[in-house]
Amino acid sequence: MTRIRLPKITLWRAVAGLIFAAGFYATYLRFVKGFEVATNLSNAQPWGIWVGVATLCGVGLSAGGFAIAGAVYLLGMERYRPILRAAVVIAFLGYLSVVAGYAWELGLPWNFWHPIVMWNRHSVLFEVVWCITIYTTVLALEFSPALVERIPWKGVRELYLKLQHKILIALVLIGVLLSSLHQSFLGGLFIIFKGKMYPLWYSNYQTTLFYMSAIPAGISMIILALYLSARSLNVKIDMRILDDFSRIIAPMLVIFTLFRFADLAKQNALGYLFLPVAETGYFWLEMALFVAAPLVLFNLPQVRSKPIGLYWASATVIAGFITHRINVSITSLERFTHANYVPKWPEMAVTVMLVTAAVVAFRFAVLYLKIFPQSMQVEPPPFQLPRTTGYVFPAHPSTAVN
Amino acid sequence: MKTKAMLIDITKCIGCRACEQACKEVHHFPAEHEPVLSATALTVVEERGDKFVRRLCMHCEDPACASVCPVGALKKTAAGPVTYDAKKCFGCRYCMLACPYSVPRYEWSKLAPHVKKCDMCAERVAAGGVTACAEACPVGATIFGDREDLLAEAQKRIRENPAYVNKIYGAEEVGGASVFFLSDVPFEKLGFIKAPQTTPLPVLSASALGEVPTVVMVGGSLLAGLYWFTQRRQQVMAAEATEKEHNVPRFRDKERS
Give the chain A residue whose CA is nearest to the CA of B93. A46
Q: For residue B124, what are the CA distances in angstroms to A191, B26, B99, B197? A: 35, 10, 24, 32
In a structure prediction context, what are the per-residue pLDDT tens digits for chain B, which is 257 residues long?
689 999 999 999 999 999 999 999 999 999 999 999 999 999 999 999 899 999 999 999 999 999 999 999 999 999 999 999 999 999 999 999 999 999 999 999 999 999 999 999 999 999 999 999 999 999 999 999 999 999 999 999 999 999 999 999 999 999 999 999 999 999 999 999 999 999 999 999 988 888 888 888 888 889 999 999 988 988 898 888 888 877 665 555 545 54
A132 interaction partners in chain B (CB closer than 8 Å): none
For A260, phi and psi rounded to 5 degrees? -65, -45
Q: How does DSSP classify residue A82?
A: G
The beta-carbon neighbor of B72 closest among A32, A105, A120 is: A120
Interface touch A124/B233, C-beta < 8 Å? no
Question: How many residues make up chain B in this entry?
Answer: 257
Instruction: For residues A139-168, give the mean pLDDT.
Output: 92
In the three-class reduction of DSSP (H, G, I as helix; E, B as strand; rest coil), residue B243 is classed as helix
Above 50 in pLDDT, residue A398?
Answer: no
Instruction: For residues A108-135, give the mean pLDDT.
Output: 94
> Per-residue confidence at A389, pLDDT binned at 50, 70, 90?
very low
Above 70 in pLDDT, residue A388?
Answer: no
Q: What is the pLDDT of residue A387?
A: 47
Interface test mutation site (partner A, options B76, B93, B173, max chain A beta carbons within 10 A): B93
Which has more pLDDT, A396 or B155? B155
Give the whole-number percent of chain A exceeding pLDDT 90.
Answer: 76
Instruction: For residues A14-37, give the mean pLDDT.
Output: 96
| Distance (Å, whole) CA A111 – CA B34 | 31
> Per-residue confidence at A395, pLDDT binned at 50, 70, 90?
very low
pTM of the model: 0.90
Instruction: For residues A157-186, give the mean pLDDT.
Output: 93
Nearest to B61 by CA among B73, B37, B79: B79
What are the counts of helices (DSSP H) followed by strands (DSSP E) for chain A?
Answer: 18, 0
> Per-residue confidence at A399, pLDDT binned at 50, 70, 90?
very low
CB contacts < 8 A (A, B)? 168
A188 interaction partners in chain B (CB closer than 8 Å): 205, 208-209
Q: What is the pLDDT of residue A26?
A: 97
Q: Which residues, in sequence order, are bridge partners of residue B38?
A: B41
Interface touch B111/A188, C-beta < 8 Å? no
Question: How many residues make up chain A in this entry?
Answer: 402
Instruction: For residues A50-68, give the mean pLDDT.
Output: 95
The CB-side HSE value for A299 (13 A sphere, CA atoms) comes to: 10
The CB-side HSE value for A24 (13 A sphere, CA atoms) comes to: 5
For B243, phi and psi rounded to 5 degrees? -60, -45
Sign of CA dihedral B144, B148, B153, B154: positive
> Per-residue confidence at A379, pLDDT binned at 50, 70, 90?
low
Q: What is the pLDDT of residue A386?
A: 46
Interface touch B90/A115, C-beta < 8 Å? yes
* pLDDT per position as a tens digit, A230-252: 888 888 878 888 888 888 999 99
Q: What is the pLDDT of residue A236?
A: 83
For A363, phi and psi rounded to 5 degrees? -60, -50
> Per-residue confidence at A65, pLDDT binned at 50, 70, 90?
very high
A211 interaction partners in chain B (CB closer than 8 Å): none
| Distance (Å, whole) CA B110 – CA B16 | 31
- Non-local (6+) Cβ contacts of A33 within 8 A are none
Interface touch A194/B98, C-beta < 8 Å? no
- Non-local (6+) Cβ contacts of B21 within 8 A are B31, B136
Taking a C-beta distance cutoff of 8 angstroms, is the pair A218, A179 a contact? no
Q: Which residues, in sequence order, are bridge partners of residue B128?
A: none
Nearest to A29 by CA among A41, A42, A39: A39
Provide the ipTM: 0.89
CB atoms within 10 A of CB B174: 27
Interface test mutation site (partner B, options A35, A123, A402, max chain B beta carbons within 10 A): A123
> Per-residue confidence at A216, pLDDT binned at 50, 70, 90?
very high
> Per-residue confidence at A385, pLDDT binned at 50, 70, 90?
very low
Q: What is the pLDDT of residue B244?
A: 80
Instruction: For residues A40-57, give the mean pLDDT.
Output: 95
B215 interaction partners in chain A (CB closer than 8 Å): 177, 180-181
Above 70 in pLDDT, residue A381?
Answer: no
Interface touch A41/B219, C-beta < 8 Å? no
Q: What is the pLDDT of residue A3?
A: 67
Give the chain B residue whose CA is nearest to the CA of A39. B108
Nearest to A59 by CA among A228, A211, A257, A284: A211
**Mean pLDDT of chain A, nearest integer:** 90
